[in-house]
Amino acid sequence: MSDISDSLRRELRDAEYSEGYSESFLNSYIATQIKVIREQRGMKQVDLAREMGTTQTAVSRIENVNYSAWNIRTLKKLARAFRVRLRVSFETYGTLPDEVERFGRDGLQRAAREDDPDLLERIGPHREGLAHRAMAAAMGGNSGNANRWAENVFVMTPLRSQSADIPQSGGLNAT
């Protein structure tokens, strides 16, 4: 597929062409991702419509690579229905060829919040809160130092258990 990528890199230098190509890709990407995530959730269009408070016809209309009348409100509704976050971002044209090459079902699927491996592997908010409060207490109520400690712990060494990683007073070399 690198022939597509190489040709596209040259073609995207043309202003009119790049706008036409990228806007068409955006529409195709959104429509396809909606369909892919809906199928990943085992939902029919009518199920998604119910979650969004709209009609199956409306879902069918947006699951179309030629639909272009997107608005943020609808996209947010979709994100809530799929239990994922919506990210809207401006990008350079140079990143487009790689996105085009990677386009496929696997790359479009997204885990729901409750199945998100990035959330499951990290310390939960309850434990995090407990650890932070315990650290602040160990530092004599200095929550600023406790924040820095928490950042270092999360970046460098994941907590193994709630108590094992909370240093005793005076035992921390925070940077």
Interacting residue with other proteins among 9, 13, 36, 94 (CB under 8 A): 36
Distance CA 2, CA 97 (A): 9
Q: Does 25 bind other proteins (CB under 8 A)?
A: yes
Smallest gap from Cβ 116 to other proteins, in A, equals 24
The count of C-alpha atoms lying within 13 angstroms of the C-alpha of 120, restricted to the half-sphere facing its C-beta, is: 7
The piece of 65-73, 76-84, 141-149, 152-160 that touches other proteins (CB under 8 A) is 65-73
Q: Is 56 helix (H, G, I), strand (E, B) or coil?
A: helix
Q: Does 70 bind other proteins (CB under 8 A)?
A: no
Q: Classify residue 175 by its DSSP letter.
A: -
Q: Is 78 helix (H, G, I), strand (E, B) or coil?
A: helix
Tokens read off for 109: 């699927």
Nearer to other proteins, 65 or 137 (CB): 65
Q: Does 17 bind other proteins (CB under 8 A)?
A: yes
Nearer to other proteins, 21 or 70 (CB): 21
The piece of 3-11, 71-79, 109-117, 139-147 that touches other proteins (CB under 8 A) is 3-11
Interacting residue with other proteins among 52, 58, 65, 134 (CB under 8 A): 65
Distance CA 107, CA 86 (A): 16
Interacting residue with other proteins among 7, 55, 57, 109 (CB under 8 A): 7
Q: Are 4 and 100 in contact (CB under 8 A)?
A: yes
Q: In sequence order, which ranges of the chain are alpha helices (DSSP H)?
A: 2-11, 15-40, 45-52, 56-62, 72-82, 96-102, 105-108, 117-120, 125-138, 143-156
What are the residues binding other proteins (CB under 8 A)? 1, 4, 7-8, 11, 14, 16-25, 28, 31-32, 35-36, 63-66, 68, 100-101, 103-105
